[in-house]
Amino acid sequence: MTTKTGLGAFLAPFLLLAMTTHAHDIKAPVEAAAMARAAAVFIDALEPAQRQAVLFSFEDKERFDWHYIPRGREGLPLKAMSADQRALALAFLKPGLSATGYRKATAIMALEAVLREIETFNWLGRDPEKYYFSFFGTPSVSGTWGWRLEGHHLSLNLTIVKGQWVAAAPRFLGANPAEIQSGPHAGQRVLAREEDLARMLIRSLSPAQQARAVFRSKAYRDIVTGTGETALPPDPVGILASAMDAAQRRQLHALIDVYLQTMTTAVARQRMDAIHSGGWDHIRFGWAGSLEPGQPHYYRVQGPSFILEYDNVQNDANHIHTVWRDFEGDFGRDLLREHYARVAH
């Protein structure tokens, strides 16, 4: 389900940028403008009642009310759109995601149909069209606004500041089932590399290194950072990148790369530059639970500015949650703070 990217080719421009620029100096005006134009086309195709459902003020608290469980939501679901409107809604997603990100997002949505078939109950209302679009502020090529796509196991939150900078966290992608066991799509794993590369990394560690990396014998049942407006840094656990050899550090790079691959190029550059600014030696990789495939497990990669979490515990360890959070940058807080400091309001 994922597209492989050569690690050296992917990281080379970021390494140069990290030495010469500040994270906020890397702009994404082309991508932000493309999102604004696609949003305008989509919104223009909606009926008045639909527009009322999908549009919020930028200051609305709803912008921070994100989650990934099956629950009632604000916004406009795909289910309430015509076929033409649904096509425009999905077309709107493409400028805000990489090709890999788009494929993963739509594959996660499609898993609701799989759950509807394999579960013996449907009181949760599994439905691949129960994914909700919301816009915060007025989309424009030079303005500050945001958007969200959310439903079961998917929460994409993007904030655009003055048409220049794009923040892409919090960012949640999950998969249930993690691997489809039967039927025409048997063997499909939407988030395969998120699991496989982390397992390769933990197994590449020496016994002494593993003793430092594995910080808990039992996996957490869910992500630890939760779904609040801000993510507080958990206590640092696991092994530092500075305690890894060169090959292991490359494996850690590759694992982070998997999460960055869902973002557009400029946004991924922003995130990678922030990681470099914080220092690779300060990044930790921690594991909890079993090292054996098919058993409950959890890991996190944590640096000074960010955390990514993964758990696979529920449904006999066939149910994945992943999340990327920026401690200062969720919902574009750091970008907004810097902008307001520069401009009188």
- The pLDDT tens digits of the residues spanning 209-255 come to 999 999 999 999 999 999 999 999 999 999 999 999 999 999 999 99
* pLDDT at residue 23 in the model: 40
How many angstroms separate the CA atoms of 255 and 45, rounded?
Answer: 40
What SS3 state is found at 157?
A: strand
* pLDDT at residue 119 in the model: 80
* pLDDT at residue 343 in the model: 65
The widest CA-to-CA distance across the chain, in whole angstroms, is 63
DSSP 8-state assignment for residue 281: G
* pLDDT at residue 344 in the model: 59
Exposed, middle or buried: residue 292 (CB in 10 Å: 0-12, 13-18, 19+)?
exposed
The residues of the chain scoring below 70 in pLDDT are 1-27, 120, 122-124, 342-345
* pLDDT at residue 345 in the model: 54
The total number of residues shown for the chain amounts to 345
pTM over 0.85: yes
* pLDDT at residue 122 in the model: 66
